[in-house]
Chain A
Amino acid sequence: MNPTAPTSASAPTPTAGPSRTPEAAPPARRVVAALAEARHLSFWAENAAPIGLVVLVVVFSILSPTFLTLGNLTAMLVAGAILVILAVAQSFVITTGGIDLSISATMTIGAVGFGLAFRAGLPFWPAAAVALASATVIGLVNGLLIAKGKVTDFIATLGTLGVATGAALILTDGRPISVFSTELLTLTTGKIGFLPYPFLLAAVVAVLAWVVMFRTRYGLHVQAVGGSEEAAVANGVKAPRVRIAVYVWAAALAGLASLLLVARIGAAEPAINTTYLLNSIAAVVLGGVSLTGGRAKIVGPVLGALLLTALTNGLTLLAVSQFYQPLAVGLVVVLAALLTRYQKR
């Protein structure tokens, strides 16, 4: 055998090679296989988010006639867009084995950056650029602290959570900045068909994130670093760079989400938004991503984010007191976390 150097990308490719991958099986057999799988706990663990989402939709549509109306579905998609984007960002961080506790504070900084820029007379697009830039700075600090400063992710992002929250309050004197912009109005009310713009934006983010995670070198490096940093480095992966980039991207996405947040509220608020932080982590856990890193998922966290949105929405429709919402979210997350123990490794 001659060991060929696989750097030559022009390998002959058979047109119809036999495939060992399960996705090539005929649909009927796939259904049978899926039913056989359903007897195992691991099936429920792997698919906690989609199953939970379906269950919630069925239950809420029985309990409330409004739940499945077009108006309410659209409202849910608008409300869920921010969480979908944050969950995707958090999923990248968690795949490396890290966590970003500053993600919602970063979003707040983005919103405040937008508000200040807008109040200073900048038009929408430059103000949006300010939002993205100010959020990205937090991500860069996170990345440098964790990858270069060797500070534990938990502590580093807890620190920037505090700093960003404080900075947002200081910069605005603790008062919301009202924003009246036609672009923002379009962003929050416009739709194509019945799909509102915020949801389409979140969908584009999710699709791009999936491509980056599963079809690019960078995504493979993220998974490798999360799986075993030592092995990844031994194979030439620049782990610190991968880690920094993950926090920078997460923060940039939080900056993007901040635009949706400002559009939704009509003001840049220096509020703490703890719910978004907890729900972004909850969505990732619901999506079946292990907090120890290494196993990447994008669709799962997106469905997890939609599930949490549907849960909140449904409880509101049923006139359940707001006090019960964190309780319900907490229970669902703990249940999902218990289920992930039965995932196939």
Chain B
Amino acid sequence: MTTTDLVLTAEGLTKSFGGVHALKGASITMRRGEVTALIGDNGAGKSTLVRCLSGIHRPDSGTITLDGEEVQLDSPLDARAHGIETVQQNLALVEDLTVWQNFFVGRELTRGVGPVRLLDRRAMREQAGQLLSGLAVNVPPVTSRVRRLSGGQRQAVAIARAAGWGSAMVIMDEPTAALGVQETARVEEVIRRLQDSGVAVLLISHNFDQVLRLAQHVWVMRAGLAVAERRADQTSGDELVALITGAKAA
């Protein structure tokens, strides 16, 4: 495997909050076109690592390399500009707005002359509809308010939005944590389609079955370090549990 197969390399990331060392030199890689899972117990440093990658935290030391180029991610907008989209656990959807408005808020399409610009509502509705129907079955009409959507539909909207900006990589934090069985299956389908479209996905999940279903590669975190990596087809739930708890050394 050459380095060009790697869409992302994070090396030696450290991050402390006061006296708490959340990351102690964690290193992970993500391969192009794959779903990479990040697992670990609570407090293992998953969230901090993800927040460093999505530009919310700046690591104290260490490097992040995207497509072979070292980058500084100073803000979520910065990360976004580098093609890293994050689907946050709270989804960052405005419930009172419609689906298409949520797709485009902050990045609206406008038309008009000079400084007089009006929203290009039709173009936004169409593009939102296309992106959504390309990823998910049972899509809500783009004119419905997010408040009326089910948890799975909301998740699909948030994922489709993240995928819709030509992003190279989408980070998902516990995308099915609050969903029922059917809805979980739908969201997993969305993640598969996203992968098929060539986007690298970093999936944070506590559900080992799901990790083994969706991911090709698994990173295990413990005590602020990425302690082990496995190919998904060469490991088992039992092994992953052992790696997480430290019962089995990497």
| Partner of A220 from B93, B105, B111, B164 at Cβ < 8 Å | B105
Cβ-defined contact, B93 with A6, below 8 A: no
Residues of B within 8 A of A5 (CB): 164-166
Cβ-defined contact, A3 with B131, below 8 A: yes
In the assembled complex, the Cα of A230 lies from the Cα of B77 at a distance in Å of 14
A175-220 at interface with B (beta carbon < 8 Å): 211, 215-217, 220
Cβ-defined contact, B197 with A228, below 8 A: no
Q: Kindly name the residue among A5, A217, A232, A236 whose own CB sees the greatest number of chain B CB atoms within 10 A.
A: A217
Given A5-B165, A217-B108, residue A294 in contact with residue B94 (CB < 8 A):
yes
Residues of B within 8 A of A9 (CB): 109-111, 120, 123
- 6 A-B pairs with the lowest CB-CB distances in the bound complex, closest first: A236-B106, A294-B96, A227-B96, A235-B106, A5-B166, A234-B92
Given A1-B197, A237-B105, residue A232 in contact with residue B94 (CB < 8 A):
yes
Majority secondary structure of chain A interface residues (helix, strand, loop or mixed): loop
Residues of B within 8 A of A215 (CB): 118-119, 121
Q: How far is the CB of A228 from chain B (nearest CB, A)?
A: 5
Asked whether any CB of chain A lies closer than 8 Å to the CB of B122, the reply is: yes
Residues of A within 8 A of B41 (CB): none
Asked whether any CB of chain B lies closer than 8 Å to the CB of A243, the reply is: no
Q: How far is the CB of B60 from chain A (nearest CB, A)?
A: 24
Residues of B within 8 A of A235 (CB): 92, 105-107
Cβ-defined contact, A295 with B90, below 8 A: no
Asked whether any CB of chain B lies closer than 8 Å to the CB of A321, the reply is: no
Cβ-defined contact, B107 with A228, below 8 A: no
Cβ-defined contact, B196 with A20, below 8 A: no
Apart from A3-B163, A211-B118, list 13 A-B contacts with CB within 8 A: A1-B196, A6-B165, A215-B119, A217-B110, A223-B101, A227-B95, A227-B96, A227-B97, A228-B94, A228-B96, A232-B94, A234-B92, A237-B106
Residues of B within 8 A of A230 (CB): 90, 92
Can you list 9 residue pairs at the A/B interface with Cβ under 8 Å? A3-B164, A6-B165, A9-B109, A216-B119, A221-B106, A227-B96, A230-B92, A231-B92, A231-B94
Residues of B within 8 A of A1 (CB): 134-135, 193, 196-197
Asked whether any CB of chain A lies closer than 8 Å to the CB of B216, the reply is: no
Residues of A within 8 A of B120 (CB): 9
| Partner of A20 from B91, B94, B143, B165 at Cβ < 8 Å | B143
In the assembled complex, the Cα of A278 lies from the Cα of B104 at a distance in Å of 36
Q: How far is the CB of A113 from chain B (nearest CB, A)?
A: 28
Asked whether any CB of chain A lies closer than 8 Å to the CB of B124, the reply is: yes
Cβ-defined contact, A295 with B96, below 8 A: yes
Beta-carbon nearest neighbor of A9 in chain B = B109
Asked whether any CB of chain A lies closer than 8 Å to the CB of B199, the reply is: yes
Asked whether any CB of chain A lies closer than 8 Å to the CB of B248, the reply is: no
Asked whether any CB of chain B lies closer than 8 Å to the CB of A322, the reply is: no
Asked whether any CB of chain B lies closer than 8 Å to the CB of A275, the reply is: no
Asked whether any CB of chain B lies closer than 8 Å to the CB of A301, the reply is: no
| Partner of A226 from B76, B96, B123, B134 at Cβ < 8 Å | B96
In the assembled complex, the Cα of A302 lies from the Cα of B95 at a distance in Å of 25
| Partner of A3 from B96, B109, B143, B199 at Cβ < 8 Å | B199
Residues of A within 8 A of B105 (CB): 220-221, 224, 232, 235, 237
